[in-house]
């Protein structure tokens, strides 16, 4: 009896597998598989793009592994994927190690927000020096005079600030500490920038959900998470004073505004934190796709550049729904020009539509 | 070494096997050789895998081994930006959290096993055994989430403040109650290893021959004396094995611990303070470790975790052997 059941189960499973594979190989004749790997932060928008782009170009299939920016940089450097993805620009040293010239293509923007757990959920305002000093361990209490001065009318408790940061290496951490390093000389010298740093104070939570979970369960906690995560989970987020002296609420619009504000270097390797625009939220960043300027395979190269062009123009309309900030229009124009420079055997691959 | 003399019909008779169970022979000794070869290959595969893991870890950790040498073992600094790496806080966290887990889990686990094997009515036995198996089947990430949302707030509000008030003179219970930290890690590990200890201990106790108990009872022993003298003593090495299985799991557990330990690479005496374990730092930082030295340092942490596991298991094996010897003496 039991044997029979097992046999039946195996047959059923085989039938299922076979059945699911039957429709797939139909367009196999012209199907092209593009492999990519890297950042986890933009993964939702990238998979949305792959889906939508399949309607435009059904012969193309994408396989994207969200293994983290570090892994993306390693894999594109070793040419094991057709494109990499990173939340932080590659360093000169990393670029020099790649076997060819890599170009950075900004795709969308994200922001990092300060979130907290205080009785009554007051709307807080932070100046750059307050944020830096809290994370340096110099401001230890919520009712410190400087926090109170920036938040007139808010009743702050006489409780310790429990700092929560990401414990896993993350582009979110990079953006946040890059900002702290820009606004605080002490942070730059003592801690520096990186996807993981040696935090002067605080507890580490794994992932956005780990940080948010600890903050939610700890009165008096303060930490940072991605803007998209904060919006989705209705967390209280702080306004931060930008370079122009205004307290800016982190939103999709104020994030895009940070991309407008900066004069763009030709290779797009730019940090957008502490951006100068009046409406710019100061803790924002691009996320990039990494491709070789000289492509090794004509068909794949053509597919990649056409997709990149679509993603940075047409594809931008899907960004806001998924809580990513679209690229500013000026940047889109510059990116188009950059994509036009990607070549196969010296000839540009992008064909004007 | 057993040679192929087990195949003969004479052996079958000696073992009182019905002749009909052994089919007429066609393949001759080849079938047996194939069988032996396969079983040997299976064992060899284990050896190759273990040696291979060790060799690969050493190979991949070379940059860190060359840069830091023995300092790696004695440095408490972990600064990925400045590329200063030392394993000390992680080794401390792994050992302390596992030790704490065993302190909580061993009395609980063996106590439950004694109840299940010696005292419980039959219907309770199967119901509880089912519950215990259920606990063992829960994925560790679920334990971790439960740790963040239930255990940590519970510890912060109801456990750590009274501990600090009454036992605060001990350095173990000082400092602000965060909820997450070494204590939370120890408790969650204890909950995770208890099912293993209970399940194995119960089997071990059930395997103790009944004449042991009968003999003790016949001598006028009470229930507790019977359990202590006739059962536990007899089952000592098996119980140690159960504890070691739990310890092995505690040392290597990653996800749940990472979610509740606070991930701070510092050596703090207080159990309320956040800590960090070797498995956690690898899980946290491996994906984003971009520089060669950083990656090598993480792999060296992995290598040392491997060494710690081997050493702990080796010590444990020695302990089992020595206890096993003692049991024999008692029996004789």
* pLDDT at res. B287: 82
Q: How confident is the model at residue A24 (pLDDT cuts 50, 70, 90)?
A: very low
> Which range has the worst mean pLDDT, A1-10, A109-118, B34-43, B320-329?
A1-10
Choose the mutation target among A161, A169, A233 for the interface with B, i.e. most B CBs under 10 Å: A169
Q: How far apart are CA B256 and CA B263, in angstroms?
A: 12
The two three-digit tokens of residue B55, written as one number: 């060799």
pLDDT above 70 covers what percent of chain A? 90
Q: Within a 13 Å sphere around the CA of B142, how many CA atoms are in the beta-carbon half?
A: 8
* Angle at alpha carbon of residue B51, lines to B50 and B52, rounded to 5°: 90
- Tens digit of each residue's pLDDT (9 = 90 or more) over B145-186: 999 999 999 999 999 999 999 999 999 999 889 999 999 999
Distance from CA of B44 to the nearest CA of A (A): 31
* B156 secondary structure, DSSP code: I
* pLDDT at res. B133: 85
Q: Which of A64, A75, A104 is nearest to A87 (CA)?
A: A104
The number of C-beta contacts closer than 8 angstroms across A and B is: 98
Q: How confident is the model at residue B296 (pLDDT cuts 50, 70, 90)?
A: very high
Residue B327 pLDDT exceeds 90: no
* Residues in A 86-145 with any Cβ partner in B closer than 8 A: 94
* pLDDT at res. A22: 42
Instruction: Give the mean model confidence (pLDDT) for residues B201-206.
Output: 93
Q: Is B285 on the interface with A (CB under 8 A)?
A: yes
- Tens digit of each residue's pLDDT (9 = 90 or more) over B109-148: 999 999 999 998 988 988 988 888 898 899 999 999 999 9
Residue B268 pLDDT exceeds 60: yes
* pLDDT at res. A352: 60
Instruction: State the burial class of residue B109 (Cβ atoms within 10 Å of its Cβ: 0-12, 13-18, 19+).
Output: buried
What mean pLDDT is reported for chain A? 89
* pLDDT at res. B41: 95
Pairwise CB contact (< 8 Å): A194 & B263: no
Instruction: Say if CB A87 and CB A39 are below 8 A apart.
Output: yes
């Amino acid at each position: 009896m039991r044997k029979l059941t097992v046999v039946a189960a195996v047959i059923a499973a085989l039938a299922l597998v076979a059945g699911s594979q039957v429709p797939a190989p139909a367009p196999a004749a012209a199907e092209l598989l593009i492999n990519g790997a890297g950042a986890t932060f933009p993964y939702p928008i990238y998979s949305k793009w792959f889906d939508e782009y399949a309607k435009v170009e059904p012969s193309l299939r994408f396989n994207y592994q969200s293994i983290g920016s570090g892994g993306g940089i390693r894999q594109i450097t070793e040419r094991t994927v057709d494109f990499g993805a990173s939340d932080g620009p590659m360093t000169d040293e990393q670029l020099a190690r790649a076997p060819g010239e890599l170009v950075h293509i900004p795709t969308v923007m994200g922001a990092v927000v300060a979130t907290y757990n205080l009785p009554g959920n007051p709307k807080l305002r932070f100046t750059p020096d307050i944020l830096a000093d809290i994370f340096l361990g110099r401001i230890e209490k919520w009712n410190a005079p400087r926090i109170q001065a920036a938040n007139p009318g808010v009743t702050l408790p006489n409780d310790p600030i429990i700092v929560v940061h990401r414990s896993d290496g993350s582009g979110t951490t990079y953006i946040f500490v890059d900002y702290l390093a820009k606004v605080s000389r002490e942070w730059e010298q003592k801690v520096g920038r990186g996807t993981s740093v040696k935090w002067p104070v605080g507890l580490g939570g794994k992932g956005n959900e780990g940080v948010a979970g600890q903050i939610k369960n700890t009165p008096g906690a303060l930490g940072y998470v991605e803007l998209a995560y904060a919006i989705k989970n209705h967390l209280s987020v702080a306004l931060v004073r930008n370079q122009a002296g205004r307290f800016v609420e982190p939103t999709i619009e104020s994030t895009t505004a940070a991309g407008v504000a900066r004069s763009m270097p030709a290779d797009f390797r730019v940090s957008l934190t502490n951006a100068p625009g009046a409406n710019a939220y100061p803790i924002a960043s691009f996320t990039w796709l990494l491709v070789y300027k000289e492509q090794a395979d004509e068909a794949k190269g053509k597919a990649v550049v056409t997709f990149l062009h679509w993603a940075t123009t047409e594809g931008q309309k899907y960004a806001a729904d998924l809580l990513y900030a679209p690229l500013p229009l000026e940047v889109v124009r510059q990116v188009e020009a950059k994509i036009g420079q990607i070549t196969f055997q010296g000839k540009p691959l992008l064909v004007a539509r | 070494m057993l040679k192929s003399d087990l195949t003969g019909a004479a052996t079958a008779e000696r073992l009182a096997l019905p002749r009909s169970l052994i089919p007429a022979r066609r393949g001759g000794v080849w079938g047996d050789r194939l069988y032996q070869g396969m079983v040997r290959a299976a064992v060899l595969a284990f050896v190759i895998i273990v040696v291979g893991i060790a060799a690969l870890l050493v190979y991949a950790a070379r940059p860190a081994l060359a840069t830091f040498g023995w300092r790696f073992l004695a440095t408490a600094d972990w600064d990925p930006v400045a590329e200063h790496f030392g394993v000390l806080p992680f080794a401390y966290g792994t050992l302390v959290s596992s030790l704490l887990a065993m302190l909580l889990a061993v009395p609980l686990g063996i106590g439950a096993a004694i109840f299940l094997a010696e005292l419980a009515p039959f219907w309770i036995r199967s119901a509880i055994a089912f519950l215990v198996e259920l606990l063992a089947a829960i994925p560790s990430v679920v334990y971790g989430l439960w740790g963040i949302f239930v255990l940590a707030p519970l510890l912060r509000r109801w456990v750590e403040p009274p501990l600090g008030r009454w036992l605060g003179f001990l350095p173990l219970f000082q400092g602000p109650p965060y909820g997450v930290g070494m204590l939370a890690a120890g408790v969650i590990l204890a909950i995770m290893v208890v099912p293993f200890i209970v399940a194995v201990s119960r089997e071990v106790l059930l395997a103790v021959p009944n004449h042991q108990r009968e003999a003790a009872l016949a001598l006028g022993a009470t229930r507790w004396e019977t359990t202590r003298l006739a059962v536990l003593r007899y089952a000592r090495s098996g119980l140690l094995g159960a504890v070691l299985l739990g310890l092995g799991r505690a040392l290597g557990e990653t996800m749940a611990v990472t979610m509740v330990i606070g991930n701070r690479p510092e050596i703090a005496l207080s159990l309320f303070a956040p800590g960090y374990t070797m498995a956690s730092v690898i899980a946290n930082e491996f994906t984003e470790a971009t520089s060669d030295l950083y990656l090598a340092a993480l792999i060296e942490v992995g290598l040392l975790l491997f060494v710690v596991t081997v050493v702990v298991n080796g010590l444990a094996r020695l302990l089992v052997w020595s206890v096993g010897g003692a049991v024999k003496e008692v029996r004789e």
